Amino acid sequence: MRAPLLTLGILSILVGMLWIGQGTGVVPWPRSSFMINQMPWAYYGAALAAIGIGLTGYALSRP
């Protein structure tokens, strides 16, 4: 169970960071994305990254 949780946690962190970047306008990719410069997506990304950090921490603490 450790490997799937770790994978899901890392993936959540990466996607959350992308959403933060798009929501703040730092990552304007893809150009046609509706998420660019939309602050709610930065907040959603921060929440997803926080969940990912929690999952990763939990997975690493398991024996």
41-56: pLDDT as tens digits: 999 999 999 999 999 9
- 8 Å CB contact between 20 and 45: yes
Q: How far is CA 56 from CA 1, 7, 10, 24, 51, in A?
A: 12, 8, 7, 25, 9
State the pTM of this model.
0.91
How confident is residue 62, by pLDDT bands cut at 50, 70 and 90?
confident
Confidence of residue 63 (pLDDT cuts 50, 70, 90): confident
- Centre a 10 Å sphere on the Cβ of residue 39 and count the other Cβ atoms it contains: 10
